[in-house]
Amino acid sequence: MLFNGGSPEGSCSRGGSIFKMTVTASSTWRMLGQRTPIESLPKGLDAAWDAGLGFADKILPRQKRFLRQAESILTLEKQFSELTDAKLRQIATDMREIFRCNHDNSLDLERAFALVREIAFRQIGQKPFPVQIAGALALNAGCVTEMATGEGKTLSATMPATISGWQGHGCHVITTNDYLARRDAECMGQIYRFCGLTVSFIEQQMSPDQRRKAYMADITYCTNKEVAADFLRDRLLLGKSKGLCSPLLDKIISGGRVANNLVQRGLNYAIIDEADSILVDEAVTPLIISGQAPNPQQIAFFRQAADITRQLNLGTHYHVNHQYREIELTDKGKTRLSELAGHAGGLWRGNRRYLESINQALMAKELYIKDKHYVIDDDKIVIVDEFTGRMMPDRSWRDGLHQAIEAKENVEINPPKDTYARISFQRFFRLYRRLAGMTGTASEASSEFWQIYHLPVVPIPTNRPCIRKDLKPVILPTESAKWTKIVQEISRINKTGRPILIGTHSVQTSDHLSELLKREKLTHQVLNAVYHKQEAEIVARAGQHGNITVATNMAGRGTDIKLSSGVAELGGLHVIVAEPNESARIDRQLYGRCARQGDPGTTQGIFSLEDQVVSRHAKKTIAFLKKKHANSKGDISSSMVRGVFRLSQISAERLALRQRKTVLKTDHWLDEQLGFTGAQ
């Protein structure tokens, strides 16, 4: 018997609603008056044709065109720099009228960008470089802009956001957490207000009235979770209406309550910061609106399942496939399970029900590890984002898995919730009329950006040449040898005064490294899900003389690491990656934390043959290498061994892509099978 664990990601459970229904995406875009979204993924010859279009799209000289256009915009600098603030405001007002009529030819666009560039300099003291302007042009053209860490993506976004604000349909600038949404809205708001625009942001604790006001602003900064959840809540309020016409007519005639309670005004244009994280890494996570469904008998059922699985032995009663995250019962396991379940009675009389429950309990036992996949915070199970290392208190695993983990850890079990509405982030972002993204690592996922979103990737060169030195990775035969080597390297480099950032894969490994550093009396800071509240402060100090920072994958994404005085002369920040991630893109994000804006810096990976990515995706090859290097204690890296690590990552990336496509296909299946609105 094979149990498929599916995606390791959790689904988001949000507050309850008085409506209970399944929401499908095709009906949703109709409700909010948007264009028809991209259809389901093409198959057969259509897929081949679409792939060909994607390949042709890659060779278009977009980068050169945007850089040339940026130089043209620079020639307008003198035209605006000599004007008074009052005159600039008047020109901004005139521009708003031009773009409100959708008159956006290249000449108007260049003048608008030059105007915003001058306003940015006067309001916040930052004048976008040519490469930032090129990145802004790519965003305005509906591309994913790849700009290196520290190159000013936040400032680049103000130019296309301003154009969208002038057009009057609203612009959502979407980022990964509430802190960044508030910070960017407050910092860049000075530019927008000078241009005659309103700006706001969304935070988790906001009331519906506050959200409604924020979405009515010309530019709204928010997180992907909040904007998608608000979309689903609005859809629930609309009920079975086939469009906004009925609620609006009801509002005109009788001051209808439904239209007044909607918080969003539609999905016009989204600029997504950290696009790879939101559009790729989190794409397997469906967002779910749910409500409470108390069931004491079911709570006892989860406890009993946890007790039964403690009596089953790995290897004798079941096997674990870590690569595909599956549990398989042996014949002995089936027999033993029948004996144990036969005495339980109650819900255990249903064969299918108890098998599903045992599957979840075994997955909780073997595949979900404390301080890696979750932490216990205030006696509650809190999911840790695999890609960022951040805690996600507003999420829970679905299908009883969260309750199985609560039973495993012997904390209070919260009853499973009834699902009222769901949508994947993939499906949701495909609903926007216009979409663009920016990130430091997009090239590795360029094919996926095209396949799923039809977004081309445009790499933008750095403002100053990158002088980072990427050292060849060191590979050790065992995990203990790896940690010994990492501590030795930290101690050696720390004596020179250079700051060091060590990227770890989980809370567990970051705490382990912290203990090793304490033994060596090396002062350091830890940045992981447990200490997430100090994230901005810890990241701000990571580039100071002699600092050692141990971080999970979050590594302060969205916050620059600036070098203190004299550090550049010592060689800049040194980044150590302590374990390869399942995506090379995440590794490159960590490497990109150093050598920003022409600063010096070095990077190196220090790995072992026992690291998870190779253990899961190159099991036989790694077994051979372990046997071959059984007596080795030092570095065993070679082009062949490094190749095994890269091939393991490629295998993991392909598996993850298949999972994401499965989520999207499931959304489309629900759309076809459960949709309740006719074609319009």
Does some domain include residue 369? Answer: yes
Does some domain include residue 132? Answer: yes
Residues 429 and 536 in one domain: no
Instruction: Report the alpha-carbon distance of residue 540 to residue 554 in Å, rounded.
Output: 14
Instruction: Report the alpha-carbon distance of residue 167 to residue 172 in Å, rounded.
Output: 13
Residues 284 and 300 in one domain: no
Q: Which pair of structure tokens corresponds to residue 21?
A: 């229904």
* CB within 8 Å of 531: residues ≥ 6 apart: 538
* CB within 8 Å of 228: residues ≥ 6 apart: 287, 423, 425, 428
User: Which tens digit of pLDDT belongs to each residue from 565-600?
Assistant: 999 999 999 999 999 988 888 888 888 888 888 899
Give me the percent of the chain exceeding a pLDDT of 90.
Answer: 49
CATH number of residue 138's parent domain: 3.40.50.300
Q: Are 139 and 458 contacting, i.e. CB atoms less than 8 angstroms apart?
A: no
Least confident of 50-59, 241-250, 483-492: 241-250
Residues 615 and 652 in one domain: yes
Q: Which pair of structure tokens corresponds to residue 488?
A: 């030795």
Instruction: Report the alpha-carbon distance of residue 144 to residue 439 in Å, rounded.
Output: 8
Scanning the structure block, which residue is given the tokens 């708003």? Answer: 96
User: Which tens digit of pLDDT belongs to each residue from 205-233?
Assistant: 899 999 999 999 999 999 999 999 999 99
Measured over the CA atoms of residue 189, residue 597, residue 277 and residue 176, the dihedral's sign is negative
Over residues 333-358, mean pLDDT? 74
Instruction: Report the alpha-carbon distance of residue 557 to residue 550 in Å, rounded.
Output: 14
Residues 283 and 298 in one domain: no
C-alpha pair distances (Å), 639 with each of 338, 468, 648: 51, 22, 14
User: Which tens digit of pLDDT belongs to each residue from 504-529?
Assistant: 988 889 889 999 999 999 999 988 76
Q: How confident is the model at residue 393 (pLDDT cuts 50, 70, 90)?
A: confident
- Confidence (pLDDT) at 377: 87
By C-alpha distance, which of 237, 235, 284, 272 is closest to 256? Answer: 237
DSSP summary character for residue 532 = G
- In single-letter form, the type of residue at position 678 comes to G
Over residues 255-270, mean pLDDT? 81
- Confidence (pLDDT) at 562: 86
Residues 321 and 394 in one domain: yes
Phi-psi region of 558 (alpha: psi -120 to 50; beta: other; left: phi over 0): left
Over residues 446-462, mean pLDDT? 92
Over residues 20-33, mean pLDDT? 37
Does some domain include residue 36? Answer: no
Residues 216 and 318 in one domain: no
Residues 370 and 511 in one domain: no
Residues 562 and 492 in one domain: yes
Which residue range forms the structural domain that includes residue 183? Answer: 12-27+60-288+425-459
Residues 359 and 450 in one domain: no
Q: Which pair of structure tokens corresponds to residue 593?
A: 């934390």
> How many other C-beta atoms are found inside a 10 Å radius of the C-beta of residue 445?
24
pTM of the model as a whole = 0.82
Mean pLDDT over the full length of the chain: 84
Angle (CA) 286-554-287 rounded to 5° is 10
Between residues 674 and 482, the one the model is more confident about: 482
Residues 411 and 429 in one domain: no
C-alpha neighbours within 13 Å on the C-beta side of residue 81 = 9
Buried b / exposed e along 551-587 (16+ C-beta atoms within 10 A): bbbbbbbbbbbbbeeebeebbbbbbbbbbbbbbbbbb
Does some domain include residue 339? Answer: yes
Give me the percent of the chain exceeding a pLDDT of 70.
Answer: 84
What stretch of H or E contains 645?
Answer: helix 639-674
Instruction: Report the alpha-carbon distance of residue 312 to residue 2 in Å, rounded.
Output: 16
Does some domain include residue 33? Answer: no
Residues 97 and 180 in one domain: yes
Does some domain include residue 48? Answer: no
Does some domain include residue 486? Answer: yes
Does some domain include residue 50? Answer: no
Residues 334 and 474 in one domain: no
CATH number of residue 326's parent domain: 3.90.1440.10
- Confidence (pLDDT) at 388: 65
Strands 219-223 and 286-291, bridge-based pairing: unpaired
User: Which tens digit of pLDDT belongs to each residue from 56-92?
Assistant: 777 788 999 999 999 999 999 999 999 999 999 999 9
Q: What is the count of structural domains for the chain?
A: 3
